Amino acid sequence: MAVQIITIEDLNEFRNLLLNDLKEIIQSKPQQTKQWLKSNEVRKLLNISPGTLQNLRINGTLSYTKIGGIMYYNHSDIDKLLDRNKVSSIQNRNNF
């Protein structure tokens, strides 16, 4: 059995190769978001109370699907809601 000596340069080269491989893996797999979210997930995402979420449902601002007493919200509907209510930073600057 032959003995091999591993140098610091060898370790650095291995580290760089490993980091590059990990970066490629992460970039090749787009992060998937859940399509349907439960009420508690929506409240955490938007940092809102249960009452606020209920108001969004009641006034038709945010659509939902109810199955067996559990309400589900489409993630794309939440994205659309955020886009519709987006305020331009230029508009904010002019208000000061």
Q: In this predicted structure, what is the pLDDT of residue 17?
A: 94
**Average pLDDT in the 8-20 region?**
93
In angstroms, the CA 37 to CA 93 distance is: 34
Q: In this predicted structure, what is the pLDDT of residue 86?
A: 87
Q: Of the ranges 8-17, 54-63, 76-85, 86-95, which one carries the lowest mean pLDDT score?
A: 86-95
* pLDDT surpassing 90 at residue 25: no
In angstroms, the CA 72 to CA 77 distance is: 11
Q: What percentage of the chain has pLDDT greater than the value 90?
A: 66
Place of tokens 């980091």: 19
The pTM assigned to this predicted structure is: 0.59
* pLDDT surpassing 60 at residue 66: yes
